[in-house]
Amino acid sequence: DIQMTQSPSSVSASVGDRVTITCRASQGISSSLAWYQQKPGKAPKFLIYAASSLQGGVPSRFSGSGSGTDFTLTISSLQPEDFATYYCQQGNSFPLTFGGGTKVEI
Partner 1 sequence: EVQLLESGGGLVQPGGSLRLSCAASGFTFGSEAMSWVRQAPGEGLEWVSGISASGAGTYYTDSVKGRFTISRDNYKNTLSLQMNSLRAEDTAIYYCAKVTTRGWFFDYWGQGTLVSVSS
User: What are the residues binding partner 1 (CB under 8 A)?
Assistant: 1, 32, 34, 36, 38, 43-46, 49-50, 53, 55, 87, 89, 91, 94-101
Closest to 13 (Cα-Cα) out of 76, 66, 101: 76
Rounded to a whole number of angstroms, the minimum distance from the CB of residue 38 to partner 1 is: 8
Compute the distance between CA of residue 95 and CA of residue 98 in angstroms, rounded to an integer. Answer: 10
Nearer to partner 1, 11 or 17 (CB): 11
Beta carbons of 65 and 72 less than 8 angstroms apart: yes
Rounded to a whole number of angstroms, the minimum distance from the CB of residue 90 to partner 1 is: 9
